[in-house]
Structures are given as C-alpha cells and as structure tokens.
Structure 1
Amino acid sequence: MPEKSPSRGERRKLRTRAALIEAAQEIYSQRGDFDVSIQQITEAADVGFGSFYNHFSSKAELLEAAIAEALETHAAWLEGLLADVDDPAVVFATSMRLTGRLIRTHPRMARVMMNMNSRGALLEASYGHAAHARRDIEAAIDAGRFAVEDVRVALACATGCLLAVVHLCETDPKASVDDMTDQTVLNVLRMFGMEDAEAHRIVTLPLPVDEPPTVSI
C-alpha cells in the first residue's frame, strides 16, 4: 500500500517545527548561547507563541533538536559520499579533512561545533561527527590501519586537534584553511601509528566534489 500523504494540518505542524528549529540554529550560531526567551524564538521563527509547546517542552529540548539535525545532516552526507570507499582510514581522514573545511564552507556550523566542544557536549553526543568518527576509528583499528589503545582518547585527540586548527583559521584571515586542515589530519594519522608516506598519500587524495547539504547552520 502506498504511504498516505500528510494532511494539511500535519504539513502545517511540520513547517512550524522546521521554522522553530531553523530559528534556534540561527540564534545559537550567531550568539554562541541560547539565553533568549521563548517569545524571541517564536518571533524569529514567525510562528505563534502558543505553537512552541506543541512541539517542544523546553528551550533545551529545542536546542538539542536543532543542533542534532544540523550535525547529523552533515555527518550523514559524509557517510553517503564515502560509502564506496573500502579503506576505513581513508574514510576517517577524508571526513576529517572535509569537516575542517567547514570554517570556509559552512562557518556557522563550524562555530556551533566549537561552542558544543567548549561545554564538553560534542564528544558525548550520540549524533553527528563525533559518533561517526568513533565508528570510523574502530573500523580502522579492526582493519589494522590504526594502532590505537583507547578509542575514546583517540577521538578526543582528533577532535581537539581539528577544532583547534578551525579556531586558528577563523582568527587568522591569512591562514589557508585547506593546508592547515590537511596538515592537522596528517599529524593525527601519524599519532594513530600510520607510516609517514602512507599518511601523506591519504591527505593528498582528491576530495569528493559533491556540494555539502544545505542546512540552516
């Protein structure tokens, strides 16, 4: 049986929820915090104040949904883009190279990641880049490509290195985002036990040309 199309009321609810999430993404990326009233959020979303509680029980729940949707959309795009790559080390490195370039391609999302990291939420999230990166690290260990004793420590090191260089690129307008990101990924691969020549080969592979998904952040 074909799926039933959403009714007019259901479509309206979906549009309202999407508007609230988009407003939350915009506010958080611009401010770096969510210290605003629900009235301000609904005004930014151009929806009625009473509509808020039809979708979310609190501002915290809305913010969690807004961040999760943006980061998971981008992480899922990376996963689809690299679905045909057999080497998990290449998958990990390419994902890291593309994520580092967010400060150039999607600066708002890069700032959201840095804001999350500042409060320790990025590594603990069950969605988005960190969750996917952890899986890729584990696959590379199983394939004998990485020599890592503790996956959680490895993920923390990789995340810290990447976000640090993103911060450097954001604060230095003369910095080459691509070069600095690739140098960072090269050093991470070395840290994970990869031979220098192989690490160099991986970080000089051509990047996929597909455009990242359009998200509000």
Structure 2
Amino acid sequence: MTPAPAPASSPEPSRSHRRKAQTRAALIRAAQSFLAQGQTNMPVLEITQAADVGLGSFYNHFESKDQLFEEAVEHVLDLLGAVLDELTSDVDDPAVAFATSFRLTGRFHRREPQLSKVILHSALDLLGAQTGLAPRVRRDIQAGIESGRFTMTDVDVAVVCAVGAATFLGQLLHAEPDRDDAETTDRAAEALLRMLGVSADEARAICRSPLPELHTAELRGAVDEATIDGDAAR
C-alpha cells in the first residue's frame, strides 16, 4: 500500500519577510521604550532613529504614530494575560484564580518596570480594552459570581475596582521603590476578595498561599517573538 503523503508543513518565512518582521519588532521595541519614559510627543523620525530603521520603513508597517503606540501596549497586555492564564489554568477555585492573577500582576510591576510602565502609560484605556487584562478580570469575576464563590453581583463595578486597584498599585510601587511589593500587593488582593464576598479569614489565607513562578525573562523575550510571529501571519 502506498503510504499517505505527509501533511505539508507551513513554509518558512522568506528572508525579505523576516527582515520586514524584524523591522516591525524594532519599531515596537522603540515605542515601548518611549512609552516607559512617558514620551509620546516625539516625531516619527525620532522613533525610527531609535529603532535604527529608515523613515520610509515606518509607513510600511503603521499608518500613524498612534497606531504604533497602541500596538506596543497591546503586545504587552496580551502577553502578560497569556502568561497569567497559563499559570492559573489548573486552578479550579475562581477566588484563587482571581487572587493569583492579581498578586502576580503586582509583582510584575516591580520585576519588569519598563514593560509595566508601558501598560500604565495607557491606564485610562485599560478598562475598555477588548484584549489584555481587563477582559480576563471580567471573565474571572463572572466565573466567581456564577459559581456562587463571589456574592457581589455587579460585574461592572467589580471590574472597575479590580482594574483600578491593579493600575494604581503599579503606580504606587513605582513611586515608592522601597515599599515591599509582595506584601503591598497581597494586602490589595485580600481587600478585593473581601469586597467580592470572600470571608476575611479565607481571603487572608488565599493571599498568603504560595504563588507559581512568574518567568518575566520569558515574557521579555516573548515581546520580540510575538512582533515577529504576528507580522509573519499578516
């Protein structure tokens, strides 16, 4: 019997395609660096110089500087969200899953200050974002309400409190570098659990339990990889 042909593998990106993807990644890295410094008023030329690419290359990838900055933020949000999802994938208790994600996010602010500041620069846009952290917060809170784990039933108010707490927590940790980020984050997570309806003793126990390791070095590498892979899929 003639063996069935092996399934065709996805073709490797061409050299020119790879070069374009690397240019896109360089532009996004440059944008993230400017965002982390709170700088967004520079001309496109300054961004391309920081990325070490030609000015004309910019418009092969982005229609405007605003579009570049939006994508730079979305990459970090999506990648952090994916890491948190992976680290809580085997957690059955919605209260523990919610607290774990919040506690890890708090630690992320101190461990990865540049990526954290990229997110915090667009803090006012986080609540209404369709990707990244806010939809995951809503999902986890909704799961807690539907399971009866949380007694607070207004999902919108709960999301506002959780996203607002995560955002201002990051700003606090940057403003006070000597503050214990783990202790501060765990106290905030405990307060949120109590707001959602978890008893004081249980909320404290959950927020004092061991956490999975947040591999931030992998997250930094994934930023570059995602920009290249995303462009290859275009």
- Using the size of structure 1 for normalisation, the TM-score is 0.93
Query: Are the aligned partners of 2:35 and 2:117 in contact in 1 as well (CA < 8 Å)?
Result: no
- Per the alignment, residue 210 of structure 2 pairs with 206
Question: For residue 169 of structure 1, what is the aligned residue in structure 2?
Answer: 173
2:128 pairs with 1:128: no
Structure 2 match to 1:190:
194
Q: Please, which runs of 5 or more residues in structure 2 have no aligned partner?
A: 1-7, 225-234
Q: Match for 2:156 among 144, 152, 169?
A: 152
Q: Which amino acid aligns with 2:112?
A: H
In 2, the alpha carbon distance for the partners of 1:148 and 1:102 equals 27
1:8 aligns with 2:15: yes
Distance 2:116 2:13 in 1: 34
Cα offset, 1:103, TM superposition: 2.5
Aligned to 1:143: 147
- CA root-mean-square deviation: 1.6
> Does 1:24 find its partner at 2:31?
yes
Match of 2:228 in 1: none
Distance 2:81 2:175 in 1: 25
Q: Deviations over 1:98-127 (max 9, x none)?
A: 11112211112222332212xx20111111
Aligned to 1:53: 59
Q: Displacement, 1:210?
A: 4.3
8 Å contact from structure 1 (residues 100, 163) kept in 2 = no
Amino acid at match of 1:100: G
**Shift >6 Å, 4+ stretches:** none
Aligned partner letter, 1:178: A
For normalisation by structure 2, the TM-score amounts to 0.87
The amino acid across from 2:173 in the alignment is: C
Letter in 2 for 1:203: C
Q: Please give the alpha-carbon distance, in whole angstroms, between the structure 2 residues aligned to 1:132 and 1:205.
A: 22
* Residue type of the alignment partner of 1:156: V
- Kindly state the Cα deviation for residue 33 of structure 1 after the two structures are TM-superposed: 3.8
Q: Which residue of 1 aligns with 2:74?
A: 68
> C-alpha distance in 1, partners of 2:51/2:82?
26
Structure 1 gaps, min length 5: none
- Percent of aligned positions with the same letter in both sequences? 44
Partner of 1:78: 84
Kept after mapping to 1: 8 A contact 2:109/2:116:
yes
Q: Which has the higher contact order (CA 8 A, sep 6+)?
A: 2
String of CA shifts for 1:45-87, please: whole Å, max 9, x gaps: 1111100111111111111111101111111011111111111
Aligned partner of 1:36 in structure 2 is: 42
State the number of aligned residues: 214
C-alpha distance in structure 1 between counterparts of 2:191 and 2:201, whole Å: 12
Distance 1:115 1:38 in 2: 19
Deviations 1:18-50 (A, max 9, x none): 1111111111111x2411111011111111110
